[in-house]
Every structure is written in structure tokens, then in C-alpha cells.
Amino acid sequence: MKRLWLLFSQTVTVLIAAYFVVGTLKPDWMGARGSRSGTVALFEAPATDATAVPQGSFRLAAKKSAAAVVSINTSKAAPGSPHSDDPWFKFFFGEQGNAPQVGLGSGVIISPSGYILTNNHVVESADEIEVILNDSRRARAKVIGTDPDTDLAVLKIELDRLPVIVLGDSDTLQVGDQVLAIGNPFGVGQTVTGGIVSALGRNQLGINTFENFIQTDAAINPGNSGGALVDTSGNLLGINTAIYSRSGGSMGIGFAIPVSTAKFVMEGIVKDGQVTRGWIGVEPNDLTPELAETFGVKVTKGVIITGVLQNGPAALSGIRPGDVITSVAGQTVANVSELLSKVAALKPGTASEFSVQRGDNVVTTNVVPGTRPQPRRSIQR
């Protein structure tokens, strides 16, 4: 009985093995159906979705935001020479070219009404401004207003069905967050580069009056100015503005204006034609050991006031030379850039509390800021 059972089990095992071998190597012998050739494999490769996004890809973020990033071409008439009509001047120096000066930059559509954010230096002094959309449409742009203090400008175009970028929250950014820079570097066409946030709150760079830059190592090159810095969801975090470079190309240090600043500037320009900022009428300086010793100051942090405008807001509140401002409206200040930014954010005509170190004493005073005078180089069209 055991022999019969052993023989039976061996036979079944051999038949099953043979079945799988034949089914794999010669499925047509088994009369399989289902394919155009009349055969079907027992082990098929899993189907792949052609639309699936590879892991780690930022294609969706780029697709979402790139349509709202535009190229900006500017032109300015060549400066005329006072001797251009002098025949002797022409004889010695020849005909002087009168070709217009051209410029290149980028911009971001932030409203279906056609408002575009870009850098002031992209459009400053331009006679003509042409905007080229990612879908190849073109339009002449009008300058609604500029803000040289932050190097921002607002343009407007008249087109329908405009793609609009989604505004993100630059205040929640952290060093190490991934970002994408989108623009038209060197005029080669729209380009997307990637990197991380390298630093936050960069100031004292001598680029703008009010500096609070996002620093990134995403490649930013000439022509990227005014373009978008976006997060991995495609939301706008900043306006690309400047690079640190010894060669003219990207060296991994780029700067963008936070969208929080850009939004404040845009709203002021669209609503009032200009940006309204607070002003107190002082001459501030970073606190150094030498200045501290000169004025007999005991603190090591803050901004020392070396001059006060007569009858200005600060003078009327009792602030005087030698005072060290340590906080504005409850926010500490450590340098001149921070003081300028915090005072500029104050509402003119509304009193704000300032903490001042005067010798060995801490003085608290209420200052009613005035309106910061507009820079002379601001342009309006």
C-alpha cells in the first residue's frame, strides 16, 4: 500500500512540473487564448501608467506654476549725441548708431486682470515693454507703478484667459526647504532650476533699501530677474532678484524677495499708485563698540541714533542723538536694516511703542510715524 501511494505522489508531482514547463515554454500546445497571436503568457509584466509621476520629480509643481511665469523684453531709445548733426563730428567719428537699448527679464502673473510682478530694474526707464507668455502670446505692458526701495514693479497687460500663480506663505519657509526657480535666463527660453533655501532674512547686501532676502542655491542667472521662486507644490514664495557672482553666471548664491513683501508692495501700488511706509526721521547706525563708548551706552544690541530730524516724528516723541532703539512695537531690532523694515511697516499716524536705552536707563516712548517720502527715482506711467 505504501508503495502504491509513493508511486502515485511521484507521478502527480512529475505531471504538475511538466504542466508548468509546457505552459511556460509552449503555451500554444495547451490551446491558450486571449492574445492576437492566440497565446498568452502565464507570467506577464505589470502594466505601467504613462502618466505616473516618478518619485522625487517636481514636474507637477513646474507645470502648475510655469504657465504664469512670463518673459519680459524692454527697449529704450539710444541716448542722442549733441553733436550728431555736426558734419565735422560725423567726419571724424562717423555715423553714431541710434539702435535702441534692449533688456531682458521675467515676471509673474498674479491676477486674472493682467497684473504682473517683476523687478524695478527690469523695466526702469524702458520706453517699450513686451510680455511673452509661456503659450507664445505677446502683449504690450503698462507700468502701473514701481517701488525702487524693494526693487519691485507692477505691470499690466490686456489679455484674456490668463494663467495665474498661487501665492504661497514665505513666512513659514525654513532653511533646507526645496524650491524651484523659474525664468528666462540669457533669453534661452523658460527654464526651471531646483535647489534648497540656503538662508533667510539676508540683509545689508547693498541691493535695496529694504532687504529681507530668501537665499537659495537654485541656479539664477541674468534674465531670471523678476521670475518666480516656488515651493514643491508650485506656490509662489518669492521674486528672484539678484545673484552673487564673479563671472556673471550662477555661483549657487541667489536672492529672492519674499512673497509677503511683494504682496504688500503690489497691493499698495494697485490701490494707491505707490507704497505707503512709516517714517520717524532719524539717522540710524549699527551699534559698534566705538559708538557705544562715545555716547556712553551700556547695551551691546540695538541701533544707535546719531541724528534726529528737527520737528520730525522721533524728535517730537523725545528721541535724541545717543539713544539706542532696542525694539519697535514689541519687536527687537539688532541692526539698521531691521529698524528700517520695522518702521516702514508701521501705519503712518498711528502711535507705536519704542524701547530706547538712554545711558543706564531704559525709556519707553510712543512715536507717531509719518509717511516715508517717495524716492526720487521712482517712475510712474
- By annotation, the residues acting in catalysis are 121, 151, 225
CA distance 228 to 198: 17
Residue 314 · residue 325 · CB < 8 Å: no
Give the H or E element holding residue 314. Answer: helix 313-316
User: What 3-state DSSP class applies to 248?
Assistant: coil
∠ Cα 352 353 357 (to 5°): 140
Distance CA 142, CA 128 (A): 9
Residue 141's Cα: distance from chain center in Å?
21
The sign of the dihedral angle between the CA atoms of 205, 355, 346, 330 is: positive
The set of cell numbers assigned to 73 is 523684453
User: CA-to-CA distance for 225 and 98, rounded, in angstroms?
Assistant: 27
Query: Residue 238: which of 209, 218, 223, 268 has the closest Cα?
Result: 218
Checking 54-61 for CB contacts under 8 A at 24+ apart, the result is 58/178, 58/180, 58/192, 58/194, 58/232, 60/234, 61/180, 61/230, 61/231, 61/232, 61/233, 61/234
Cα–Cα distance measured from residue 102 to residue 222, given in angstroms and rounded to the nearest whole number: 13
Identify which of 55, 141, 54 has the alpha carbon closest to the alpha carbon of residue 381.
Answer: 141
Q: Are 104 and 72 in contact (CB under 8 A)?
A: yes
Dist CA 108 CA 275 (whole Å): 19
| Radius of gyration for the alpha carbons in the chain, expressed in angstroms and rounded | 33
188 in Cβ contact with 58 (< 8 Å): no
162 close to 112: Cβ distance less than 8 angstroms = yes
- Beta strands 69-76 and 138-140, pairing class: unpaired
Q: Which residues is 142 bridged to in the sheet?
A: 156
